[in-house]
């Protein structure tokens, strides 16, 4: 079969194909941060219809780490049951192609992008004030530099603040394992907290967490060590990064570049990271992003090549406008990436896996309930 429909093993996780539902913010959690019946439906439909893995949207490891009051959380043991309900539901599905459906979770902290109202298309970007359930007095980041106008000016984090967030990631990962998730992903992209530490555009610190790349990566590496220390060795660990700030048009501006991303990838593989989910941008409002189909998979391919040249091995995921079967097959078949993370195309068509299989001439078994279709 085409590479897109070949299985892949990551530690103890067997993926039946290479098509993954990328984590997408749904702003549909309860006010306390619990997952809801929406998440049962949302993830269940994709898992049932053949996605290899579906990943729960970025889930905050502290209350102040939410991007909006409608975000999911896993900062408390009180959240675990709502996550387990979704995991058990997905695991209970007799999924397309046979075998138990798989579900992961993305853990994160919004950093200087916290305390905003949910961002829906056509809606202005508005901060969440206290009256809206927001926490504008408790927004933090590497330096006191806001993402853009309308966003809160963050408090520069102390080393004690950083250590507390490191520990919060570890505890949240432990809860994710208790809930039964098959994979844990750390959100270090799109200008969220760990991403903003990585980029010199947002990190102007002069201590152990600022300056050169290794210092700017120290926070992320500490988080990964804490998670690896907490979860079983069989648990696959993924990291989403922004492989460039897309500021090449302004070379004098401090920025995180593809060369930085390659150097970071070499650090991450040594920390026991299994999957590198390669996204881009989101940290500088003046970014210029190319709008071509699968525009980010070039970045994934460059990183994958660099890892191979260094004699290192890590599963690399490509994401971003992978909108049709032939594009997805080219991404994994030509070796740019090992997995295709697909987002909005799944929202348009939950039956995407079957449609792509048909387009590529692959026979994929339908769930027995829908087999007459």
Residues tagged active-site: 192
Could you tell me the two tokens for 126? 């508005």
Residue 184 CB contacts under 8 Å (≥ 6 apart), including other chains: 104, 105, 107, 173, 176, 177, 227, 231, 235, 236, 237, 238
SS3 content of the chain, % helix, strand, coil (to 5): 35, 15, 50
Distance CA 248, CA 231 (A): 39
C-alpha of 28 from chain center = 17
Could you tell me the two tokens for 298? 């070039």
DSSP 10: E
Could you tell me the two tokens for 68? 């909006």
Of residues 52, 50, 59, the one with CA closest to residue 26: 59
Distance CA 77, CA 324 (A): 40
Element (H, E) at 72: strand 72-73
């Amino acid at each position: 079969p085409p590479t897109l429909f070949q299985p892949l093993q990551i530690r103890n996780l067997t993926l039946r194909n290479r098509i993954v539902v990328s984590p997408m913010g749904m702003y549909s959690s309860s006010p306390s941060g619990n997952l809801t019946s929406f998440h049962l439906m949302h993830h269940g439909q994709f898992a049932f219809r053949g996605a290899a893995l579906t990943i729960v949207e970025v889930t905050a490891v502290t209350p102040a780490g939410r991007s909006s009051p409608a975000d999911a959380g896993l900062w408390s043991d009180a959240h675990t049951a709502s996550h387990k309900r979704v995991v058990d539901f997905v695991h209970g599905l007799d999924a397309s192609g046979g075998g138990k459906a798989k579900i992961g979770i993305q853990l994160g902290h919004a950093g200087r992008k916290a305390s905003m109202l949910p961002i829906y298309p056509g809606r202005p970007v508005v901060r969440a004030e206290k009256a809206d359930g927001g926490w504008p007095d408790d927004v933090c980041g590497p330096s006191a530099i806001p993402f853009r106008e309308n966003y809160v000016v963050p408090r520069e984090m102390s080393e004690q603040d950083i250590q507390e967030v490191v520990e919060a990631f570890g505890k949240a990962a432990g809860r994710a394992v208790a809930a039964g998730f098959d994979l844990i992903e750390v959100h270090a992209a799109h200008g969220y907290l760990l991403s903003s530490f990585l980029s010199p555009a947002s990190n102007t610190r002069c201590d152990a967490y600022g300056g050169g790349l290794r210092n700017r990566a120290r926070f992320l590496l500490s988080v990964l060590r804490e998670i690896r220390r907490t979860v079983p060795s069989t648990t696959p660990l993924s990291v989403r990064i922004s492989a460039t700030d897309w500021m090449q048009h302004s070379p004098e501006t401090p920025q995180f570049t593809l060369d930085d991303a390659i150097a970071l990838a070499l650090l991450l593989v040594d920390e026991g990271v299994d999957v590198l989910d390669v996204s881009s941008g989101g940290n500088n409002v003046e970014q210029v992003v190319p709008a071509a189909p699968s525009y980010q998979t070039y970045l994934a391919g460059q990183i994958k090549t660099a890892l191979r040249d260094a004699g290192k091995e890590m599963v690399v995921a490509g994401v971003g406008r992978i909108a049709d079967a032939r594009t997805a097959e080219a991404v994994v078949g030509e070796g740019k990436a090992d997995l295709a993370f697909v987002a909005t195309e799944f929202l348009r068509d939950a039956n995407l896996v079957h449609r792509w299989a048909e387009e590529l001439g692959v026979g994929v078994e339908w769930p027995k309930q829908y087999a007459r279709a």
